[in-house]
């Protein structure tokens, strides 16, 4: 008898998992999404970069699944005639004191099998990006740009073609387990599943709570804001220009990205969002903000990152401060070259009771319920590989099935 598996979440990870299940004939699948379309939040509000795996700890889920996910994403885009552009990325050490951190990223990149990676001196890196300033760089030629929302919409079509259901406007409000079955009550109906997989992104801890799981890790929403680059200065950036990230902070810092449709954005920064889905300073949820402030790990996090946080908030509110961060990499840049802010994104960052921020992907199993508790970048790049991982480690073993995940038909 075919299992009926529910998936909560219509972002790229949830849709990739549902597609893997339905297209391989492993289950009857129903996706529950609270919005009126898929890919509304993190999937539809990111820079569209397909990462090659430079930064991640070797052996981590991020490192392994990003490597595989990049190939799966590339192949899927080619099969479906979706845009996929290998624009390449430079990670730039602006000053010599950043060289040790650059060397550490190079070591990780080699361990992670990043294809085509090259270490470049000042002259060679300007052959790649003529307007960039710095003393050395790493060049990742296979870092690519895509439209993750379009990929998600295409995979949603695959689910429907295979007979799966995508129920839009269905927000999960209760989850109960009864005699091995999972009952999900939504804002409009009830569903009973043999298994449930929750990929709720910004709401992942809320959904985990509905399933009776621990409130930790909790989601701390960070907003990333982008500025556009004026049309007259689009030639300043051929592909992507990234900083050497500060290892003390879980975000990459302001960078330049040419998107798949040739628009260039500058950013993102990382400021605390005042609501889980707060895309601007005027989007405020007192409930969400109070929950973050009252979290047991909040004092420890504030002590550790208060200075960086203050700088990020100041740069968000004062354009010249944001501009100074960007101008480090392109000295020819002028204040007026940064046009109006484009749409911001909100990252679902999981943090623990002690205030530490989770770095790797985190998956928890609670009986017949599988919960993705932390899936930040490079989750979009890794989505199809995450789907295979969930099938291999959390779906098939419960059937007594081992071995490789069945391939797509």
Query: pLDDT grade, residue 409 (50/70/90)?
Result: low
Cβ distance 26 to 217 under 8 Å? Answer: no
* Mean pLDDT across the chain: 93
Token output for 51: 């990462």
The reported pLDDT for the residue numbered 281 is: 86
The reported pLDDT for the residue numbered 396 is: 84
In a domain, 59, yes or no: no
**pLDDT of 329-344, one tens digit each?**
999 999 999 998 877 8
Place of tokens 């944001």: 322
In a domain, 35, yes or no: yes
Cβ distance 288 to 295 under 8 Å? Answer: no
Over 60: is that where the pLDDT of 273 sits? Answer: yes
| Same domain, residue pair 270 and 365 | no
For residues 189 and 261, give the distance between their C-alpha atoms in angstroms, rounded to a whole number: 39
Over 80: is that where the pLDDT of 374 sits? Answer: yes
| Same domain, residue pair 308 and 334 | yes
**pLDDT of 146-189, one tens digit each?**
999 999 999 999 999 999 999 999 999 999 998 889 999 999 99
| Same domain, residue pair 104 and 22 | no
The reported pLDDT for the residue numbered 408 is: 62
* 3-state SS class at 155: helix
Cβ distance 7 to 14 under 8 Å? Answer: yes
**pLDDT of 3-34, one tens digit each?**
999 999 999 999 999 999 999 998 999 999 99
What is the DSSP track for 55-124?
SSPTTSHHHHHHHHHHHHHHHHHHHTT--EE---EEEEE-SGGGHHHHHHHHHHHHHTT-TT-EEEEHHH
In a domain, 127, yes or no: yes
Cβ distance 378 to 233 under 8 Å? Answer: no
Cβ distance 240 to 89 under 8 Å? Answer: yes
Q: How many domains does the chain have?
A: 3
Task: Give the contacts of 303 (CB within 8 A, at least 6 positions apart).
Answer: none
Helix (H) or strand (E) holding 12: helix 12-23
| Same domain, residue pair 293 and 270 | yes
49: closest CA among 350, 265, 230?
A: 265
Lowest model confidence (mean pLDDT) among 2-6, 72-76, 110-114, 282-286: 282-286
User: Looking at residues 236-253, what average pLDDT do you find?
Assistant: 84
For residues 294 and 315, give the distance between their C-alpha atoms in angstroms, rounded to a whole number: 26
In a domain, 115, yes or no: yes
Strand order in the sheet with 28-33: 165-168, 28-33, 4-8, 195-198, 369-374, 362-366
- Domain end marker among 76, 108, 141: 141
CA 55 to chain centre: 14
- Other C-beta atoms closer than 10 Å to the C-beta of 48 total 23
- Domain end marker among 121, 141, 161: 141
User: Looking at residues 125-142, what average pLDDT do you find?
Assistant: 98
| Same domain, residue pair 230 and 324 | yes
For residues 363 and 390, give the distance between their C-alpha atoms in angstroms, rounded to a whole number: 9
In a domain, 170, yes or no: yes
- Domain end marker among 141, 158, 177: 141
In a domain, 68, yes or no: no
In a domain, 321, yes or no: yes
- In the chain, pLDDT over 90 holds for what percent of residues? 77
The reported pLDDT for the residue numbered 344 is: 86
| Same domain, residue pair 16 and 98 | no
Q: Whole domain around residue 111: which residue ranges? A: 89-141
* 3-state SS class at 275: coil
The reported pLDDT for the residue numbered 406 is: 59
Over 80: is that where the pLDDT of 59 sits? Answer: yes
Over 70: is that where the pLDDT of 291 sits? Answer: yes
| Same domain, residue pair 314 and 393 | no
Across 352-402, where does the E strand assignment appear?
A: 362-366, 369-374
- In the chain, pLDDT over 70 holds for what percent of residues? 96
The reported pLDDT for the residue numbered 343 is: 73
Q: Judging by beta carbons within 10 Å of its beta carbon (0-12, 13-18, 19+), is residue 211 exposed, middle or buried?
A: buried
Helix (H) or strand (E) holding 338: strand 338-351
| Same domain, residue pair 195 and 227 | no
In a domain, 55, yes or no: no
- What CATH number corresponds to the domain at position 204? 3.50.50.60
Query: pLDDT grade, residue 69 (50/70/90)?
Result: very high
| Same domain, residue pair 374 and 329 | no
- What CATH number corresponds to the domain at position 281? 3.30.9
Token output for 45: 């509000």
8: closest CA among 183, 218, 161, 221?
A: 183
For residues 342 and 305, give the distance between their C-alpha atoms in angstroms, rounded to a whole number: 26
The reported pLDDT for the residue numbered 119 is: 98
DSSP letter assigned to residue 395 = I
Mapped to the 3 state alphabet, what secondary structure does 245-290 carry? CCCCCCCCCCEEEECCCCCEEEECCCEECCCCCCCCCCCCCHHHHH
| Same domain, residue pair 207 and 225 | no
Lowest model confidence (mean pLDDT) among 185-199, 270-284, 388-402: 388-402
Cβ distance 131 to 236 under 8 Å? Answer: yes
**pLDDT of 190-215, one tens digit each?**
999 999 999 999 999 999 999 999 99
User: 265-282 b/e with 16+ CB inside 10 Å = b?
Assistant: bbbbbbbbbbbbbbbeee
Token output for 385: 């590989």
User: Looking at residues 51-63, what average pLDDT do you find?
Assistant: 96
| Same domain, residue pair 211 and 231 | no
Query: pLDDT grade, residue 399 (50/70/90)?
Result: low
Over 80: is that where the pLDDT of 401 sits? Answer: no
| Same domain, residue pair 349 and 280 | yes
Over 60: is that where the pLDDT of 403 sits? Answer: no
């Amino acid at each position: 008898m075919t299992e009926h598996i529910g998936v909560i979440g219509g972002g790229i990870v949830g849709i990739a998992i549902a597609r893997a299940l339905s297209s391989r004939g492993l289950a009857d699948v129903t996706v529950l999404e609270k919005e009126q379309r898929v890919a509304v939040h993190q999937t539809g509000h990111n820079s569209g970069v397909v990462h090659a795996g430079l930064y991640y700890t070797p052996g981590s889920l991020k490192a392994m699944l990003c490597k595989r996910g990049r190939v799966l994403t590339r192949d899927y885009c080619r099969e479906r005639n979706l845009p996929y552009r290998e624009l390449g990325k430079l990670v730039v050490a602006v000053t010599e004191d950043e060289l040790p951190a650059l060397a550490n990223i190079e070591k990780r990149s080699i361990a992670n099998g990043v294809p085509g990676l090259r270490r470049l001196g000042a002259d060679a890196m300007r052959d790649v990006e003529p307007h960039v300033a710095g003393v050395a760089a790493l060049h990742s030629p296979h870092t690519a740009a895509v439209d993750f929302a379009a990929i998600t919409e295409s995979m949603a079509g695959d689910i429907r073609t295979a007979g799966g259901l995508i129920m839009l406007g269905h927000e999960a409000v209760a989850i109960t387990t009864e005699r091995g079955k999972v009952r999900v009550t939504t804002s409009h109906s009830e569903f009973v599943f043999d298994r449930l997989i929750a990929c709720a992104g910004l709401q992942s801890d809320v959904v985990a709570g509905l399933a009776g799981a621990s409130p930790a890790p909790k989601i701390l929403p960070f907003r990333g804001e982008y500025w556009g680059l004026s049309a007259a200065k689009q030639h300043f950036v051929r592909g992507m220009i990234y900083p050497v990230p500060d290892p003390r902070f879980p975000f990459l810092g302001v960078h330049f990205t040419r998107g798949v449709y040739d628009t260039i954005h500058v950013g993102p920064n990382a400021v605390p969002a005042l609501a889980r889905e707060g895309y601007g300073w005027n989007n405020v949820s007192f409930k969400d903000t109070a929950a973050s402030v009252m979290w047991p790990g909040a004092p420890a996090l504030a002590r550790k990152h208060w200075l960086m946080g203050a700088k990020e908030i100041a740069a968000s509110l004062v354009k010249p401060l944001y501009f100074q961060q960007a101008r480090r990499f392109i000295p020819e840049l002028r204040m007026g070259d940064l046009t109006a802010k484009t749409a911001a994104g909100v990252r679902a960052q999981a943090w623990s009771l002690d205030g530490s921020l989770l770095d790797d992907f985190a998956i928890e199993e609670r009986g017949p319920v599988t919960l993705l508790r932390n899936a930040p970048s490079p989750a979009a790049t890794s989505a199809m590989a995450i789907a295979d991982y969930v099938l291999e480690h959390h779906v098939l073993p419960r059937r007594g099935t081992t071995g490789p995940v069945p391939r797509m038909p």
